[in-house]
A = this chain, B = another copy of it.
Amino acid sequence: MSELPAYLRIASDLRAKIVSGQLRAADRLPSLARLMERYAVSSTIVRNALAILAREGLIEGRSGSGVYVRDARRLVRRSNGRQQRTESGSASPFARDAAAGGQQGGWESDSAEEAATEEVAARLAIEPGDPVMRTRYRYLADGHPVQLATSWEPLAVTRGTSVERPEEGAAVGVVARMDHIGVRVDDAEERVTWRAADETELAGLELPQRGGYVLVIRRTYFAAGVPVETADIVLDAGRYELLYRIPIE
């Protein structure tokens, strides 16, 4: 019944073996020559099938060695509004997630003052060109980068305060930092989308150079309806699961 072209049939077949666990992380797939025999197709067709799985992050080819199943350990990013404030002072949301996954969390960051672009201005409900503090984060779990983020805060809110530079307070998260200067964050909005990773992200997330996909979360924090921080959070789409707890009413 399946009238799929050969390269898709091979890709589906191998994909099923990986997601079902029949092939496990770090296992070596049969060589190209063997796959050509088994499926009775040319090398090009096998290569096409493997290229699809590589872009999905399921396998990784090593020239001269073989094709291996990639570690697909699920990382979880929790977004749990109700717990954010009570846990402040102890750890950032990211550090909490890492600890929950039994991993050693860490991050790098750098900040600079910039003028708001049109898009950032719209998200922060300020004027294009207004001064913002831009911070880039790179989050690590067990030494490997797993999240990239860029945040923007209107300097009209934080200028001259003790939390003007986010990196110094990154350990506790945005909600707790804003609490310090009397800004009560009471609401957040997250917009989740998916797209192909760009070159910077491929390198920054240690994705295979041949490409990969990311989930992008555009998050904005509000205090009494006024945006006080917005961020783009970029995650390896094949490795991450996003967990939302939603109180009803």
- Interface, chain A (partner B; CB < 8 A): 2, 4, 8, 12, 15, 19, 44, 48, 51-52, 55-56, 74, 79, 81-82, 84-86, 175, 185-196, 199, 210-211, 213, 215, 221, 237-238, 240-249
Known pairs A187-B245, A192-B241 / 20 extra A-B pairs, C-beta < 8 Å: A8-B211, A15-B196, A52-B55, A52-B211, A55-B55, A74-B193, A79-B244, A82-B248, A84-B248, A175-B248, A187-B246, A188-B246, A191-B241, A193-B240, A193-B241, A193-B242, A194-B194, A213-B213, A221-B248, A244-B244
What are 24 A-B pairs at a CB distance below 8 A? Answer: A4-B199, A8-B210, A48-B48, A48-B51, A52-B55, A56-B195, A81-B247, A81-B248, A85-B248, A185-B248, A186-B249, A187-B246, A188-B245, A189-B243, A190-B243, A191-B242, A191-B244, A192-B242, A192-B244, A193-B240, A194-B194, A194-B213, A213-B213, A244-B244
Instruction: Determine how many copies of this chain the complex contains.
Output: 2
